[in-house]
Amino acid sequence: MRLLAMMLALFAAPAWSLSCMRPDLVEAFKEVQADSAEWVIVRGRFSFDESRLPEPMSGKDTTLPARIDGKALSRKGFTTPFADDVSVHVTCSGPWCGTLGAGVSYIAFLRKTGDDYTTVASACPSSLFFHAGKPAEKALTACLRGRCPEGRDRP
């Protein structure tokens, strides 16, 4: 009887799953371009106190101070030196939280408000992406020039 009760409890628990769209840098570019806010796109590495990241499965959103060092996107590509402080909002969707690694190369969409920059590390990436190499860089440069790749030409 006890075994039956445990099995019922196990199968009665909610099934959790997270379904994200495939991360798409071109769509992210189009979204920030349509926004009235000022945005900077940076290829770089973050430094921050990793102990401040939310615990896995905590479901608790966190804002942490960080620094990003790298290159900002220009019409010639990622050529403009960029180093500044950034607030990173790490958001959670149920038990899944965004991830961020110190020293890992990212393409970050940074929203500029006054002298401050912010970005979001979410469970489903929308403004912070693992660096996807030269094809991603070329696609974003083309977008900045007004010719975003479509279909199979997208990274």
Distance, in Å, from the CA atom of 59 to the CA atom of 75, rounded to the nearest integer, reads: 39
Residue at 100: amino acid letter: L
Residue with tokens 């106190």: 49
pLDDT at residue number 11: 41
Could you write out the DSSP letters of every residue in 103-130?
A: T-EEEEEEEEETTEEEEEE-SS-SSEEE
> In which band, very low, low, confident or very high, does the pLDDT at 60 lie, cut at 50, 70 and 90?
confident
Domain boundaries in the chain? 21-146
Distance, in Å, from the CA atom of 33 to the CA atom of 49, rounded to the nearest integer, reads: 31
Q: Which CATH number fits domain 21-146: 2.40.350, 1.10.15, 2.40.50, 1.10.287?
A: 2.40.50
pLDDT at residue number 86: 97
* Ramachandran region, residue 151 (left: φ > 0; alpha: ψ -120 to 50; beta: rest): left
> In which band, very low, low, confident or very high, does the pLDDT at 142 lie, cut at 50, 70 and 90?
very high
Residue 132 has pLDDT above 70, yes or no: yes
User: Which of 33-37, 53-57, 121-125, 151-155 is the most confident on average?
Assistant: 33-37
Q: Taking all residues of the chain, what is their mean pLDDT, rounded to a whole number?
A: 84
Residue 105's CB is within 10 A of a number of other CB atoms, namely 14
pLDDT at residue number 107: 96
pLDDT at residue number 29: 94
Q: Report, as an integer, the average pLDDT of 124-153.
A: 87
Decide if 126 contacts 118 (C-beta within 8 A): no
63-72, 91-100, 105-114, 119-128 — which is least confidently predicted?
91-100
DSSP bridge pairs for 39: 111
Distance, in Å, from the CA atom of 20 to the CA atom of 122, rounded to the nearest integer, reads: 11
pTM: 0.83
pLDDT at residue number 49: 94
Residue 12's CB is within 10 A of a number of other CB atoms, namely 7
